[in-house]
Every structure is written in structure tokens, then in C-alpha cells.
Structure 1
Amino acid sequence: MSVVDTLNAYYAAFNRQDAEGMLALLSDDVVHEPSQGEPRHGKDAFRAFLSHMNRCYAEQVIDPVFMASEDGSRGAAEFQLTGRYLETDEGLPAATGQQYALRVGAFFEFSDGLIARVSNHYNLADWTRQVQTA
């Protein structure tokens, strides 16, 4: 599967809230670098992250654009993320079902055809403004 095909499958699984479908595309020693916070290492840590996210947020990736290095070792995605804040996340404003939209960039490293690193970037201050004024 090409980098673009893998990213397409990854975000299709994301939109279905299909954690196992996403995890199937990751290496066992995957590194997840969130926009804020400490990196997570390994599939089990990523699985716990996805469980937490699916409990607190209902999100959809809209109009993704994928890019890949010529050698297939790196990829990137840019997309609009729409969502609804379902359950209060620790240290963040109270959840009352607020809707939000963010532009997100994500960077990927591949090893043996699997995603070995996921690095997500978005504007937390913008998200916070949206859910506080909703």
C-alpha cells in the first residue's frame, strides 16, 4: 500500500471511530506526538489515547490532502476537523456538546509499510475559544 493509500485508510478508519482499523496501520513501536503534551510510545498507549478521544470527542476529518516523500518514508496530511465536545477533558473547559472546527496538520513516518510516527498539530487556543463561546 502506498503512503497516500495508507493515510486514506487511516483517516477513513478515524471517521468511523474504528480504533482497531487505525491501529492495524501502525507499527508496534509507533510514536504519537500530540500537539500538546508528552509523546506516547507503542500501540497500547495509542489505543488508550483513541479510547479517551472517542469518549470525549466526536470528530470527522473533512477534505484531507495527503503528501508523500518520493522514497515513501514520510507523509503528511492537512485537513479540516469538525467535532463535538462530548465529555469534559481534564484541564479543559466543561463539555456541553459544543461544536468546533479546526485546521489540522499531521506528519507521519513510515517503516516497513506501517506508520511508525504520528505528529499532530492544531491551534489549541482557537479550539478553546470555540468551545468557551459556544
Structure 2
Amino acid sequence: MSPKQLVQEWVARFNRADVDGLAALYAVDAVNHQVVMEPLHGREAIRAMFAAEFGRARMTCIVEHIFEDGDWAILEWRDPTGLRGCGLFRVAGGEIAFQRGYFDQLAFFRLQGLPVPERYLE
């Protein structure tokens, strides 16, 4: 599966809130760094993050563009509330080895009607 195809599958599983399916796309020692939090190391930590996020919010990823360059795929996305973001995925051995995501977490909380955690405001 090419990096672009893997990200297309990632989007499909994300939109089904398939936590286990998403986690299975990552290498055992993958790193996921959403810039609004510290990097997560390992498939299980990434799985726990998805479980927590899908537990508190309804999330939908609408693809605007997916670009591929070598072992990288770049996803530009939006959601139905107007939130926008970008994700970079490095694929190795048919699995996501590294992911970095950029989005406005404060806007995410507000658009989802979620309280802003105290530690976020520090």
C-alpha cells in the first residue's frame, strides 16, 4: 500500500471511529506528535489517545488534499464545523512510522462544545 493509500485507509477508519483499526495502521514503535501535546511513543499510546478523543467528541475528517512524496503522505483536512488541519505521515514497511498533526485545539474544544481543560490555559 502506498503512503497515499494508507492515509486514505486511515481517514476511512477515523471516520468510523475505529480505534483498534486506526491503531493497527501504526508501527509498534510509531511516534504520533500532534503539536498541541507531547509526542506519543508506541502503538498502544496512540491507540489510547484515539480512544480518549473519540470518547469525548464526534470527529469527522473531510479530505481536501492528499499528497505523496516518497515515503511521506500529507493530508490537508477539514471537518463539518469548519476546523481545518494538516497531517504528515511517514510510512515504513506498510505502517505509519511517524505522524505529525497541526490544528487549533482551542477552536476544536469550542466547536465541539467541550470545556477547555485548565492545564490547556497555563
Structure ranking higher in helix proportion: 2
**Contact 2:33-2:39 at 8 Å conserved across structures:** yes
Q: Percent identity?
A: 25
Q: Number of paired residues? A: 113
Q: Which moved more, 1:54-63 or 1:9-18?
A: 54-63
Query: Residue 75 of structure 1 contacts residue 107 of structure 1 at CA under 8 Å; is this kept in 2?
Result: yes
Residue 24 (str. 1) matches residue 1 (str. 2) = no
| Inter-CA distance 129–60: structure 2 relative to 1 (3 Å threshold) | closer
Instruction: Return the index of the structure with the highest Cα Rg.
Output: 1
Alpha-carbon separation, structure 2, partners of 1:44 and 1:126: 27
Equivalence for 1:105: 86
- State the superposition RMSD in angstroms: 1.7
- Take 2:108 and 2:23, find their aligned partners in 1: how far apart are those partners? 26
TM-score under structure 2 normalisation?
0.84
What is the TM-score of this pair, normalised by structure 1? 0.77
SS in 2 for 1:59: coil
Show structure 2 runs of 5+ residues with no match: 115-122
Specify which structure has the higher proportion of strand.
Answer: 1
| Residues 104 and 120, structure 1, Cα contact 8 Å, conserved in 2 | yes
